Structure formats: structure tokens, C-alpha cells
Amino acid sequence: MVERETLPVDVLVVGAGPSGLSFAISLAQSFEEQGLEKMILVIDKAGEFGHHTLSGAVLDPRALLELLPSAEADGFPIEAKVLGDKFWMFTETGKSLMTPPKPPKPFQNKGKWIVSAADAVAWMAEKADSYECCEVYPSTSGAEVLYDDSGRVRGVRTVDMGLDNSGKPKSNFEPGMDIEADLVVFAEGTRGSLAKGLMAKHDLEKGCNPQLWGVGIKEIWEVEHDLEGQVIHTGLWPLPRDCYGGAWIYGMPNNRLSIGFVSGMDHGDVSFDYHAVMQSWKKHPMIAPILKGGKMIKYGAKTVPEGGLFSMPKLYGDGFVLLGDSAGFMNAQRLKGLHLAMKSGMLAADAAAAAFKATPDEGDHACTDAALAAYDQNFRASWAFEELYGVRNFRQGFQKGFLSGAVGAAMIMVTGGKLPGGRKGCESDHERYKLKRSVSIERPDNNNDLQSDRLTSVFHSGSIHEEDQPCHLVISDPDICTSRCTEEYGNPCQHFCPAEVYEWLGDEGLRVNFSNCVHCKTCDIADPYQIIDWVVPAEGGPVYTGM
């Protein structure tokens, strides 16, 4: 039996992203105002705060300015403020006749902030750490949820350090510690590994639509042109008509561009290559001139929860709450989630503050299921709910093709979200695969002035993992990979992973190059048999500073 250190705190936040840090800052403010002597601990798997945080990102600052009204004056890292928007629909050779005369309202961003989400998170972590009641720990990964005998969440066990690739202790072995808390906040980001198990154990998605996901590929470029403050969004090509998605270009100072492409995961194509879609888009006659003479300097990828309000799980339970991407706080119509993630943290913090204030006896649990129901009530009374309710049926319509989705999107804009009414259902992404169905999209084999192969892209992500540690991509039944999956689907993992992690070697089977992993979680979601489980590595990952 391994002896483990136990660290008691009042509140444990797993994940130092926009939602988790907004929660910590908001709750710390409440504790100080109420004179409560409580301890908040924020942990994150990244070696430095922000290294694993990725977003487009044009920030709607509404929630941030509610939380920290003087954020801009205090040095919140803003790359640029949006000066103008363009919205283009593409054919392969130019601009489609479907391009509207001006950007639709959801894509009008004048005055919004172009930011690096990674740099924003690093700034917020410093703010959180400035409160006496709050501590922030990087390089600390939550590996297992701890429960008491009643099923109440009582804490999280951190990952064991110093195991070799077969799981045996090395000379530097350090067992993970048990962090016990009255409230555990799951703010792990998209497809949180702990939240995934928690939702299954407590059936938190009962009665919900399945979550729909997108895969976002992002690059930072240095170019010859100054586009600071300019925002461009594009749609249609190179996507097939039954695939939802689109692209962006955000102009930053010093001739830098944030560019990216988000593709829905419910296309049903077993050979769909998200990385290749991005590379093809860069060759378009209206994109290539913008990038000509420039170079990619950074790369990243992540999954995005697109399902909307009807795909969100129950947000709370006995001893826990779910925040941000882990709970599906994302507006797919606006291609924005940062402001909703921040607001979710603030709403949950209000509920937690009230629960602790109402429970002065240290021996009693303050954060019960009944007490934390206030989080859901706060959400339903907030502008965040109003925003998500207005687009509650937006994303589902695109499962029937672009035309159906476009009609539904137009109805939403014309009626202010009143129509389509009711609740539209949808299928899980991985259940939509068609046997051996393939739509060919050219995959670049070599690097050129515009395109890069996946290994070159991974190099620019900064992702590094210690090779002599357990593989964090756990395949529960490897035989399926070499038998059923090969025969039925042609091993889609070799196509969908944007980091060349899954390498098919023919008769030799599958090789998992886990050191390439950029922590996007695509494999955990897209695997047709749901036998790939993404768990936290002991160390390593991408470095998204400036992304």
C-alpha cells in the first residue's frame, strides 16, 4: 500500500483556465468581503499557467469586466481591439455568391478584444494568487476523483510521478497526494478527464442531447502585411457540404496573425483529416495572398463543445460543480466561449459563497447538492443563459447538411432566437461514422511556403513528454484496433489526430506516439468504439504561450 500525503482545503479547483480562475477570484473576493477564513487551492496540469490554454480568440469582455472592472487598466493582456469585420463564403476558386453583403450579427466584433487565451490565463493566475485565501499550483494534475461512502465527492488524487513506461516506480517516484475539499470545482477544459468519469458515475447527462464537438486547428503567423485589429471569418470550402465549420483570421500587432479552422466532428467521414482541412484552406486564392511571404511560428489544436444548451449536463452535485468547456459553456453561433466560461465560474462562486456563509459549523458540509442548486438557478437567471437559450437549436440543424443548418440559423437571427422552437435532437459524433465512407481532402506530404505536415506543426506547438512514463492514451481493447476497426472503418485515428499520435504500421499494427500529443482530446471523442481514454500524463504537453 502506497502512503499518500493528505492535503485538506476548503475548495479545490481542478484547472486554471478562464472558468476555474474566474471562480477562484470571485470566491476569494466573497470570502474577503464576508470575513470568512477559508482556503482555495487551484491546480493545473500545465508546467506554467496558460501553457495548455488555447482559443481563437476574440474575447467579449463582458464577464471579465464584471469580475475585474479595472482589468484593462491593470494590464490585462490585450493584443488589439477589433476595428473591422469581414465575412466570406468560399468556393474552391473564389468568393461564393452566398457571401452576405455585411457580416451577420454574430460575427460583428467591433470593439471586442483580440487576445491570447494563454497569456490571459497567466495574468488571471497572478490575480488569483494575490488573494491571501487562494493558492495556485502549476504542474499538478488531478488523476482520480475521491468519493466518500455515500458517493459524495470529497477530493481529488493527483497523478503519481516517477513511474516508468510500464507503470513501475523509478528511483524518483513520488506518490500523488489526496487533496480533500468540501467543494471540488471541475474546470478542466474540453472533455475533462475527471469530469468525464464524474458525469458517467452520477448520470449527469441524463435527458440531455449528446455533446457535439468541433476540432479547432490554430496557427500564429508572422506576415508582411499589417492587419492589426482586423477580423475575417470564412465558411464553406474546403469543407464538404455535410460538415459544419469555418475559419478565422485575427490581426495582431507586429504583423502577426491568429488563423484557424474549426471543423465539426459529426461529418461521418472515417478518413476526415482536420489538419489537412486547415492546410487546404490556406491555399485558397483569398487566403494565400495574406500569408504569402510569411511563416508559421506557433501551432495548436483543441476540441470545442458545440452542442449548446441542450447538451449541457447537470452542473452540480454533492460536493462538486462543473464549469466552462467541461460543462459545455460555448456559443457555437458566435464561435465564442471564453466569456461564458468566465461567467460560469462567477455564477458557481456566488452559490459556493452563499453555501459557506450559511454553514458556520466547520464540522458540517456546506456544499451539498441542495446548496449548490443555487448555481443552476443563478445560471438560469443570468445573461449567459439568455445568450445560450437564444441559440439552443443552432448547431443541431447542421447535422442534416449545410442548407438545413443555414435555414435554421437564419430563423434564429430573424426571430431573435424564438425559432426554431422546442428542442431539436442530435446524434453523437462517433455514432455518425459510415463504414469506410471517405471524402478525399488533400493531405500535404511536404512543407511549403503555406502548408506544413503534422510533425512540423507539432514541433511548433512546443509539445514535449517524457518518453519513460506511462502512456496517457489508454486503449482498453487494442485487439479491436487491429481487427474490427481495420475492417469496418480503416482505423480513422490515423486521420483525425492533428498531432500524428496514432501511426498505422500495417501488419505491425498501431503505434501510439504519445509524446506528440497536444492534449486536444480528439481521439477520446472521435474513436468509433469509445475505447480510447485520454488520462492526464505525469508531465508534459504543449506550450501555448502567445497563442
The type of residue at 136 is V
The type of residue at 469 is Q
Q: How do residues 251-279 score in pLDDT, each as one tens digit?
A: 999 999 999 999 999 999 999 999 999 99
From CA 272, how far away is CA 439, in angstroms rounded?
A: 7
The pLDDT, as a whole number, for residue 442 is 67
Q: How do residues 411-438 score in pLDDT, each as one tens digit?
A: 999 999 999 999 999 999 999 988 755 5
**Phi then psi for 306, rounded to 5 degrees?**
-110, -5
Contact 323, 384 (CB under 8 A): no
- What Rg value do the Cα atoms of the chain yield, rounded? 23
Q: Is the pLDDT of residue 36 over 80?
A: yes
The x, y and z cell numbers of residue 30, run together, are 466573497
Q: How do residues 441-483 score in pLDDT, each as one tens digit?
A: 667 766 789 999 999 999 999 999 999 999 999 999 999 999 9
The pLDDT, as a whole number, for residue 364 is 84
Sign of CA dihedral 532, 533, 534, 539: negative
Out of 64-68, 120-124, 202-206, 487-491, pick the least confident.
487-491
The x, y and z cell numbers of residue 159, run together, are 497523478
CATH number for the domain formed by residue range(s) 6-69+117-210+309-390? 3.50.50.60
From CA 124, how far away is CA 338, in angstroms rounded?
A: 13
Q: Is the pLDDT of residue 362 over 80?
A: no
Question: How many CB atoms sit inside 10 A of residue 206's CB?
Answer: 9
Q: How far is CA 283 from the centre of its chain?
A: 27
Mean pLDDT of the 42-68 span? 98
The pLDDT, as a whole number, for residue 190 is 97
Let me know if domain 80-114+213-305+434-534 sits in CATH 1.10.540.10.
Answer: no
Mean pLDDT of the chain: 96
The pLDDT, as a whole number, for residue 139 is 98
From CA 504, how far away is CA 493, in angstroms rounded?
A: 9
In DSSP terms, 258 is beta-bridged to: 220, 250
The pLDDT, as a whole number, for residue 102 is 96
The pLDDT, as a whole number, for residue 440 is 56
Q: How do residues 289-345 score in pLDDT, each as one tens digit?
A: 999 999 999 999 999 999 999 999 999 999 999 999 999 999 999 999 999 999 999
Q: Is the pLDDT of residue 439 over 90?
A: no
The ranges of the chain annotated as CATH 3.50.50.60 are 6-69+117-210+309-390
The ranges of the chain annotated as CATH 3.30.9.90 are 80-114+213-305+434-534
CA contacts within 13 A on the Cβ side of 262: 25
Mean pLDDT of the 126-144 span? 98
In DSSP terms, 214 is beta-bridged to: 264, 304
